[in-house]
Structure 1
Amino acid sequence: MNAFPIILGIESSCDDTAAAVIQNHKILSNVIANQKIHQSYGGVVPELASRAHQQNIVPVVNEAIKIAGIKKEDLSAIAYTRGPGLMGSLLVGSSFAKSLSLALDIPLIEINHMVGHILAHFIEDANENPPSFPFLCLTVSGGHTQIVKVSNFFEMEILGETIDDAAGEAFDKAGKIMGLDYPSGPIIDKLAKEGNPDKFKFSKPKVDEFKFSFSGLKTAILYFIQKEVKENPHFIEENLNDLCASIQKTIVDILMEKLIAAAEKTGITQVAIAGGVSANSEIRNRLKSMETEKNWKVFIPKFEYTTDNAAMIAMTGQLKFEQEDFAEINSKSVSKYSIS
């Protein structure tokens, strides 16, 4: 069993407590405990998230080790999310990882959450053939929207990112305006399949080159719906599918226009997607269409490796372990943490 190092990954950056075990790029277990409590608040409540992590972390790690068919003494290192994320949530994961590292006398490896999303593509069953360097990666989540040039495992450059809100936040806020449950992104994606994406037009923000902005779009959606509801109180329910399809099309158009521009400027035709919003079917379909339209080679990870998960932390931990890139026990968690 120990021919290759065995890495435990721990992820606790937001509201999912996750643990995974990896050996030689193969995920042996991948356990996630979701926090349903935030749905009634329409968003993640940091204090409630950190308390739930404290309750979940021990059983989640135990389950990951059990499913992997190993003992904790078989572990070679502990990888954990250092940031970015909610500070209270990050501290639960980092404290546990440090304690286990000390108890087992094995190395500690700190991981950038966004780097983890990108390097999830190198998990054995994430892609049949992983991308080769260099490639572009569009990382889209509730908190981040970035276009990253990936030159090797740990040499990455942010070509453009959001100057205000992230794409995932735009989906969730639009959903809240329409009275949808949180998180709204998957609900909008489902309803949009039955709607007309050209029924309603929303203006796209004008920002420099590869930068993104979604704050103005959120405001435009709010004002538009308020105006229509004033004239027809049943406007949302009568047009819900078309609203979802039109909003989704606008957000995906913004993402794809910037990504196409980045690919044309850099000359890179290997393009990947990562992050929770990359589970959106419209983004996936539009990206796949670029294989014929732009002659791109496109890489889309399995759904289970798109949302926050510990498999991506374990994968990145394995790559850092191979370089003996270990963390100090007094390393501090950080809410903001750039990948370049």
Structure 2
Amino acid sequence: MRILGIESSCDETGIAIYDDEQGLLAHQLYSQVKMHADYGGVVPELASRDHVRKTLPLIEAAFAEAKCGPEDLDGVAYTAGPGLVGALLVGSSIARSLAYGWQLPTVAVHHMEGHLLAPMLEERVPEFPFVALLVSGGHTLLVKVSNIGEYQVLGESVDDAAGEAFDKTAKLLGLDYPGGPLLAKLAEQGTPGRFKFPRPMTDRPGLDFSFSGLKTSAANTIRNEGDDSQTKADIAHAFQTAVIDTLAIKCKRALKQTGIKRLVIAGGVSANTYLREQLAKVMQGMQGEVYYPRPAFCTDNGAMIAYAGMQRLKAGQTGDVSTQVMPRWPIDSLPSIA
């Protein structure tokens, strides 16, 4: 079977073609980062309009890369949520229109399920069950994964997501958008121990996260300590260390609670080198294993949507021609593929 995947939930247009026997045949991606940088963040209306311009040309490029055409497809998958409603509607409308014209079934894919399953695109894949840390600009979740569609949310952020806190703190440090990766790079030049920020909600039971207070601590330090380059680097180092220590503590707690020794990290922040290093140490200490997608599949992409869509297509979970998107969509409400 072969499927076309369309990702348009925010500021990346991702297109991929996936074959359940041959694997990933094509992967096309266009990022709107430069367009939104002038505004210091994603402008939803501009994002939607750019998806309109880029989706069809990228689909044509994917067909060329895969050396196939619509007649070789068995379905079309698209991101139905969560995400920006206008951007989701663009991808949904295009996917359903093409599928109707090509007489193919459509599959509505949950964006975070796509991230959760992205490590399955690698040669080394986790077995079920595992614990997944989904960490991005919009979400921070700990999920027990028993099978595809069998998800139990163990903990989530009660305010800012980790990636959002990275971006907001980077902006306070005067870094360009998107600030998270720039803050991580600046942190490499920081002096360990000069500043120490709290590890929120680690002094009490539970697996929920909170990063807004940590962001406030960083903002107060930036305001009080001056703005020379070394001080900024030291604050970045302290901030990144606090966020990642918090994530590592909660991951270790979730693994002990579930008795599982397999950890998956996915989402945009999972590309952070320091996060990977710290979670590798956690899993080494617990005699467990950690899995993650390659950096290109950490951020939003069509490959993860195509893969997730393929699993549900094979399970017969397809939709009709109506256009429906869900800007908010709990991941634990998804049906199992069993």
CA drift at 1:327: 1.3
Matched with 1:313 is 305
Are residue 220 (structure 1) and residue 212 (structure 2) matched?
no
Matched with 1:256 is 248
Letter in 1 for 2:28: V
Matched with 1:232 is none
Letter in 2 for 1:246: A
Are residue 20 (structure 1) and residue 25 (structure 2) matched?
no
Match of 2:30 among 28, 33, 41: 33
Are residue 290 (structure 1) and residue 282 (structure 2) matched?
yes
Matched with 2:2 is 6
Q: What is the TM-score normalised by the length of structure 2?
A: 0.94
SS in 1 for 2:200: coil
Letter in 1 for 2:232: L
Q: How does 1:1-340 map to 2 (within 5 A)?
A: 5-24=1-20, 26-35=23-32, 36-123=34-121, 126=122, 128-206=123-201, 209-229=206-226, 235-340=227-332
CA distance in 2, matches of 1:166, 1:188: 16
SS in 2 for 1:133: coil
CA distance in 1, matches of 2:97, 2:28: 20
CA distance in 2, matches of 1:241, 1:327: 50
SS in 1 for 2:331: coil
SS in 2 for 1:90: helix
CA distance in 2, matches of 1:28, 1:236: 48
CA drift at 1:73: 1.7
Flag as ranges the 4+ runs of structure 1 deviating above 4 A: none
Letter in 2 for 1:213: S
CA distance in 2, matches of 1:152, 1:236: 50
SS in 1 for 2:132: strand
Letter in 1 for 2:276: R
CA drift at 1:173: 0.4
CA drift at 1:287: 1.3
In structure 2, the gaps of 5 or more residues are 333-338
CA drift at 1:220: 1.4
1:208/1:93 CA distance change after superposition, 3 Å: farther
CA drift at 1:186: 1.1
**Contact 1:197/1:249 (CA < 8 Å) preserved in 2?**
no
CA distance in 1, matches of 2:307, 2:164: 27
CA drift at 1:292: 2.1
Question: How many residues matched?
Answer: 328
CA distance in 1, matches of 2:269, 2:47: 20
1:205/1:179 CA distance change after superposition, 3 Å: same
Letter in 2 for 1:11: E
Task: Tell me the alpha carbon deviations over residues 266-305 of structure 1, each in whole angstroms, 9 at most, x when there is no partner.
Answer: 1111011000100000111111112321111111211111
CA drift at 1:238: 3.1
Q: What percent identity do the matched residue pairs reach? A: 44
CA distance in 2, matches of 1:87, 1:37: 19
